[in-house]
Amino acid sequence: MTAPAPATAPPHVLVRSRELVRPALAAAVARLHPWVGEMAGYAFGWCEVGGSPAAGPGGKGVRQALAVLGAETAGAPAGHGVPAAVAVELVHAFSLVHDDIMDGDTTRRRRPAVWQAYGTGPAVLAGDALFALAVETLAAAPGGPGAVRLLSAALADLVHGQADDLLFAARSWTGVSAREYRTMAERKTGALLGCAIALGAALGGAPETTVGALDQAGRHLGVAFQLVDDVLGIWGDPAVTGKPVHGDLRQRKKTYPVLAALGSPAAPRLARLLDEPGRAAEAAALIEEAGGRAAALAEARRHTARAEALFAGVPTAPAELRVLLDFLIRRDL
Amino acid sequence: MTAPAPATAPPHVLVRSRELVRPALAAAVARLHPWVGEMAGYAFGWCEVGGSPAAGPGGKGVRQALAVLGAETAGAPAGHGVPAAVAVELVHAFSLVHDDIMDGDTTRRRRPAVWQAYGTGPAVLAGDALFALAVETLAAAPGGPGAVRLLSAALADLVHGQADDLLFAARSWTGVSAREYRTMAERKTGALLGCAIALGAALGGAPETTVGALDQAGRHLGVAFQLVDDVLGIWGDPAVTGKPVHGDLRQRKKTYPVLAALGSPAAPRLARLLDEPGRAAEAAALIEEAGGRAAALAEARRHTARAEALFAGVPTAPAELRVLLDFLIRRDL
């Protein structure tokens, strides 16, 4: 008898992209001020506080894989996507470091967040350094101003999405619509996924229409990914997600399933439950009963289908794109 | 009898640059998320919390003037320098917003710092947005990847200099040399001044050697400016500087005059005085007696002379550059 493969075995493209990109990413980080470089290494899960090598897994590296696949979609060798991959991974790390400060999130990937480990001021600086390094990397790449324009558009969306997200937290339960939330998610999560694949394609020499289609596809993928993440944040298995059960409800996060359920007749009851401590399990059950979970998954499927249709319109898109999409959206949910 | 002109009347180039650049800067800021845009407007001194117009003076606008003069040095109309001016003013605002968080500085230009007025998280976001907007502005300008490379090199220096500055604060009084301090000041202050004029020249179409010379000149100007600022931070007239008398000493800042004096035989006595509260006036007198003030001014003159020599090597450099330099270094000190 052989043990069954784990349900979430990472697709090979994540592994080969990490191996391809890591040296360039490490070389970029090595150009930073040593202290700032250590914080960057900690953020990537490469080292612990003090600089000793880390045992942690780090992130999945979805964005670097998308950049590599973008270059391959353009018919270029994977290596042409590396500067794009480095830039988007740096931007992703920057946004996590700063978002954790803004959101007051104390842990990230089962370790103290950078601001908890090094202090708020140093974490602000580390994020700034990662951001600057991303721009520097792309400015030095052969992609020209078009590549920097793609990145800066994604950065603008990222910041806009984060602003909306912060303001949503201050509104009442019924003060945010599911539609507003979707727009926020496209900016905050979708823009950088779209940018990753579009940037890879642009550096690979793809025509502008292909770059645009891949950007759109990545954005839909990002929204779908966020919605699945929202479902996992309420009903996910803590052993798999690494987050406490009903965590998003106890943190009073206005995620898609909650907002969808608040659009149903159960809204007044649900809003009361959400405001009472210790009743997260009941709230989760009511959200499911009111159709919030089903609505989130249906919306995720819609965005996945749109991403797939856009990929299908690009005949050179490699099959691994579809594999990665399947992995991210976890069809078995 | 006419009243004497105030000693610090701003040179005309500051006024005409502000008038030229302001519409483009305001248009850029208007593209931000409205909430983030308000914070940006507050940082620029354009509005108060809530968005009502501000009475405050805002910054001097030195960087935008240098960008405009850079374009004119290239023989281009002033307007060609505007995207450079917008980008460097945005980067400067970003760095002040984030530095105030890192340094724990609660006031800026006689008003609460952005993080005091809006909270730390929102201030992190506002800085990020200003940073992203700067990159976006330059990526959209006709200068091509060379312009973005100039800006990203300055950003890397800026972050490196800020990291050094933060670490200096944690060292002992004799643990930082005057030379290390000068390198930090070139990165933290000089790089963006150099970038401002170089970027303006690049967008104006100046040859690379001119761009490089102007960049170097701006860096020397920045170091000189910082040294003069250090002298004012200890011995400046609070009515003029807007800062408390001996403020930098009471904040235990390791500035050039202090570090220079700590290189003299007075070091042990001075280190003891600096560590005792309420003895800032005695410390200031001892620093002056030990030659710290004279050393800072001499070093400022050296850097000013180097900037002037570099400007002199560029025959098309307008006379207003020299006027601006005189204004910034305040020869009457």
pLDDT in tens, B182-212: 999 999 999 999 999 999 999 999 999 999 9
Q: pLDDT by residue (tens digit) across A239-266?
A: 777 777 888 888 889 999 999 999 999 9
Nearest-by-CA chain A residue for B119 = A102
**Would the pLDDT of A8 be above 90?**
no
Nearest-by-CA chain B residue for A98 = B124
Question: Looking at residue A313, what is its pLDDT?
Answer: 95
Q: How far is A192 from chain B (nearest CA, A)?
A: 13
Residue A3: count other Cβ atoms within 10 Å of its Cβ.
5
Question: Looking at residue A248, what is its pLDDT?
Answer: 87
Q: Please tell me the number of Cα atoms within 13 Å of B15 on its side-chain side.
A: 4
Domain ranges of chain B: 12-329
A155 and B136 in contact by Cβ < 8 A? Answer: yes
Measured in degrees and rounded to the nearest 5, phi and psi for residue A107 equal -125, 155
Q: CB-based contact (8 Å) between B171 and chain A?
A: no
Question: What b-and-e string marks burial along B17-33, b requiring 16 or more CB atoms within 10 Å of the CB?
Answer: bbebbbebbeebbeebb
Give the pLDDT band (50/70/90) at residue A19: very high
Separation between Cα atoms, residue B125 and residue A87, nearest integer Å: 20
Mutate to test the interface with A, among B125, B130, B157 (most CBs of A within 10 A): B125
> Which residues are registered as beta bridge partners of B112?
B107
Q: How far is B15 from chain A (nearest CA, A)?
A: 30
Question: Looking at residue A5, what is its pLDDT?
Answer: 42
Output DSSP code: residue A114: H
CA distances to A187, A188, B99, B253, B284 from B247, in Å = 44, 42, 18, 9, 10
CA distances to A206, B158, B280 from B238, in Å = 60, 28, 15
Question: What b-and-e string marks burial along B94-123, b requiring 16 or more CB atoms within 10 Å of the CB?
Answer: bbbbbbbbbbeeeebeebebbbbbbebbbb
Q: How far is A99 from chain B (nearest CA, A)?
A: 8
Q: What is the ipTM of this complex?
A: 0.94
Q: Using a CB-CB distance cutoff of 8 angstroms, which residues of chain B are in contact with residue A159?
A: 32-33, 36, 125, 128-129, 132
Q: How many CB pairs under 8 A join A and B?
A: 132
Q: How far is A124 from chain B (nearest CA, A)?
A: 7
Q: Using a CB-CB distance cutoff of 8 angstroms, which residues of chain B are in contact with residue A124?
A: 98, 101-102, 124, 127
Separation between Cα atoms, residue A324 and residue B66, nearest integer Å: 49
Nearest-by-CA chain A residue for B149 = A139
Residue in A67, A47, A64 with CA at minimum distance from that of residue A56: A47
Separation between Cα atoms, residue B88 and residue B321, nearest integer Å: 17
Q: pLDDT by residue (tens digit) across B59-70?
A: 889 999 999 999
Nearest-by-CA chain A residue for B155 = A132
A139 and B145 in contact by Cβ < 8 A? Answer: yes
Residues of chain B below pLDDT 50 = 1-6, 332
Q: pLDDT by residue (tens digit) across A186-225?
A: 999 999 999 999 999 999 999 999 999 999 999 999 999 9
Rg (CA), chain B: 20
Q: CB-based contact (8 Å) between A121 and chain B?
A: yes
Tokens representing B131 are 């940073």
Give the pLDDT band (50/70/90) at residue A96: very high
Residue A22: count other Cβ atoms within 10 Å of its Cβ.
18
A163 and B121 in contact by Cβ < 8 A? Answer: no
A12-329: CATH topology is: Farnesyl Diphosphate Synthase (1.10.600)
Question: Looking at residue B246, what is its pLDDT?
Answer: 87
B98 and A144 in contact by Cβ < 8 A? Answer: no
**Would the pLDDT of A4 be above 60?**
no
Output DSSP code: residue B98: H
A133 and B149 in contact by Cβ < 8 A? Answer: no
Question: Looking at residue A238, what is its pLDDT?
Answer: 82
Q: Using a CB-CB distance cutoff of 8 angstroms, which residues of chain B are in contact with residue A156?
A: 31, 129, 132-133, 136
Separation between Cα atoms, residue B98 and residue B89, nearest integer Å: 14
Nearest-by-CA chain A residue for B147 = A139
Strand segments, DSSP code E, in B58-194 are 107-108, 111-112
B125 and A33 in contact by Cβ < 8 A? Answer: no
Higher pLDDT among residues B224 and A144, named by residue: B224
Q: Please tell me the number of Cα atoms within 13 Å of A162 on its side-chain side.
A: 29
Separation between Cα atoms, residue A199 and residue A146, nearest integer Å: 9
Q: Chain A neighbours among B 91-120 (CB < 8 Å)? A: 98, 101-104, 120
For residues A37-52, average pLDDT: 96
- Smallest Cβ–Cβ distance between A148 and the set B98, B131, B145 belongs to B145
Nearest-by-CA chain B residue for A101 = B121
Give the pLDDT band (50/70/90) at residue A148: very high
Q: pLDDT by residue (tens digit) across A116-130?
A: 999 999 999 999 999
Question: Looking at residue A186, what is its pLDDT?
Answer: 97
β-pair type (B111-112, B107-108): antiparallel
A33 and B164 in contact by Cβ < 8 A? Answer: yes
- B307 in Cβ contact with B326 (< 8 Å): no
**Would the pLDDT of A2 be above 60?**
no
Question: Looking at residue A241, what is its pLDDT?
Answer: 75
- Smallest Cβ–Cβ distance between A145 and the set B131, B144, B152 belongs to B144
Mutate to test the interface with B, among A36, A133, A135 (most CBs of B within 10 A): A135
Residue in B105, B114, B15 with CA at minimum distance from that of residue B60: B15
For residues A83-112, average pLDDT: 95
